[in-house]
Amino acid sequence: MKEKEEKMSLVDFFRRKNSGDVARDRLKLVLVSDRANCSPEVMEKIKNDIINVISKYMEIETEGLDIQITQTESETDNGKVPALYANIPIKGMHHTSGR
């Protein structure tokens, strides 16, 4: 029993993140969305560039295209990470894209 307790505290010790690290990680995350929100011009540029690239391969509905910076759970268990989310409705594929 005693042994188990010791093990627990050791695990807790390693799992516990320093508050300084927590602060740094939270800040990095919040600044990604702050910076993105502060510059709609940049988001508009990204959007136009995405349209240009995707349009080479498929016909997309540019009106319905939605991009934003969001937070998502990391697949490698790093907690939340910033992500560029894009919803691009496809109207059809170009003939050449499959060849």
Partner 1 sequence: MSEVIVITSGKGGVGKTTTTANVGTGLAQLNKKVVLIDTDIGLRNLDVVMGLENRIVYNLVDVIEGNCRIKQALIKDKKYPNLALLPSAQTRDKSSVSPEQMKKLTDELREEFDYILLDCPAGIEQGFQNAIAGADRAIVVTTPEVSAIRDADRIIGLLEANEIRQIQLIVNRLRMDMVKRGDMMTVEDVCEILSINLIGVVPDDEQIVISTNQGEPLVGSDAMAGKAFANICRRISGEEVPFLDLQKKAGVFAKLAGLFK
Q: Which stretch binds partner 1 (CB under 8 A): 15-23, 54-62, 65-73, 77-85?
A: 15-23
Give the per-residue contact string, 58-77, with partner 1 (x = CB under 8 A; - = no).
Answer: --------------------
Minimum Å gap between C-beta 83 and partner 1 is: 19
According to the 3-state scheme, what is the secondary structure of the chain?
CHHHHHHHHHHHHHHCCCHHHHHHHHHHHHHHHHHHHHCHHHHHHHHHHHHHHHHCCEEECHHHCEEEEEEEECCCCCCEEEEEEEECCEEEECHHHHC
Binding of residue 31 to partner 1 (CB under 8 A):
yes
Question: Of the candidates 3, 21, 63, 75, which one interacts with partner 1 according to CB under 8 A?
Answer: 21
Provide the binding-site residues for partner 1, judged by CB under 8 A: 18-21, 23-24, 26-28, 30-31, 34-35, 38-39
